[in-house]
Amino acid sequence: MTIFQKTIGLIINLVSFISPKLSARIAIFLFTKPFKGKITLEQSDFLETAFKEEFTYKKFPIMSYRWLGNKETVLLVHGWESNSARWKNLILELKKQDFNIIALDAPAHGNSGGNRFNALLYAEFINVISQRFKPTVIIGHSVGGMASIFSQSKYQNTSVKKIILLGAPSEFKNILERYTNMLGYNQRTITQINTTIIERYGASPEDFSTAKQLKNITSKGLIIHDKEDDIIPYEDAILIKKHFKSSTLITTNGLGHSLRDTSINKHICQFLEN
């Protein structure tokens, strides 16, 4: 834990003795506020090679990018504090293979709107794009994978035949626990965070589970996870595999959470061709 994290945790813990609700609101604000993920100049140059189209979910603008091809439509869903440009190398490879490629920016990321992020809102963004472009394949990295499963489980888009999960988390409660431990929140704050989540979303953190949502998924799946992933533990991939009926798990070593490597692109292309 850094000095900054210790200081933030201490301040929020002190606030909890005055108002647990306020401490929880601050903690959730920090948890859902991305501080990275805006598009750099270099990334912008690449994204300018796409056809850009903006959609809307409620009041939120959703930015999409298209690289046209004659084969199946592949939807790319990035993770936390990232944007659609993170897929550059994979997009270039898929273009060589003549796939039709769609990417979108998450809530509060890239060129999409909003200033808060959560997987449930992201799932709605994914559904808007899926309804428009009818992808046959969805590829999600990290929480983008979780949001993709939430979206497909809820809306059952019949066009989706294959789903690829890269370093995806299974249990939201575990993500939340790692966050509260990292900041050193006291039990008063943690209890109120859980209460506030139930009040806002109508379900407890335990209910937001990739593994549980997979019971409604009939698509063929590919799970790729690195044993040395220091963001999302490898155990999450094991749990997802257990519940993903028609899926294959590929385990890597030394690629970390980003899984940016030519070998990953090869695995993806092979899965798409089979």
User: Which candidate, 38, 31, 49, places its Cα nearest to that of 78?
Assistant: 38
Number of structural domains the chain divides into? 2
Report the alpha-carbon distance of residue 240 to residue 150 in Å, rounded: 13
pLDDT in tens, 231-247: 999 999 999 999 999 99
Report the alpha-carbon distance of residue 197 to residue 28 in Å, rounded: 9
Least trusted range by pLDDT, from 3-7, 8-12, 19-23, 268-272 = 3-7
State whether 130 and 191 are in the same domain: no
Sign of CA dihedral 76, 77, 82, 84: positive
pLDDT attached to residue 24:
97
State whether 267 and 245 are in the same domain: yes
Average pLDDT (155-180) is 97
Q: Is the pLDDT of residue 228 over 90?
A: yes
State whether 75 and 132 are in the same domain: yes
Average pLDDT (58-84) is 97
Average pLDDT (42-50) is 96
pLDDT attached to residue 182:
94
User: Which candidate, 215, 230, 69, 237, places its Cα nearest to that of 137?
Assistant: 69
State whether 129 and 237 are in the same domain: yes
Given the structure tokens 């533990």, which residue do they identify?
233
Crossing angle of helices 187-201/3-18, nearest 10°? 80
Range of the domain at 190: 1-32+172-208
pLDDT attached to residue 1:
60
Last residue of one domain, picked from the residues 188, 208, 228: 208
In this prediction, residue 4 has a pLDDT band, given cuts at 50, 70 and 90, of confident
Report the CATH number at residue 257: 3.40.50.1820
Q: Is the pLDDT of residue 83 over 80?
A: yes
Sign of CA dihedral 172, 178, 181, 182: negative
State whether 27 and 161 are in the same domain: no
Give the contacts of 141 (CB within 8 A, at least 6 positions apart).
77, 78, 79, 82, 86, 166, 167, 168, 259
Q: Sheet containing 100-104: give its strands across.
A: 51-57, 60-67, 100-104, 73-77, 137-141, 162-166, 220-226, 247-252
- Virtual CA dihedral for 217, 100, 92, 118, nearest 10 degrees? -40
Cα angle value 71/255/140 (rounded, 5°): 40
State whether 254 and 124 are in the same domain: yes
In terms of residues, how long is the chain?
Answer: 274
Report the alpha-carbon distance of residue 251 to residue 262 in Å, rounded: 15
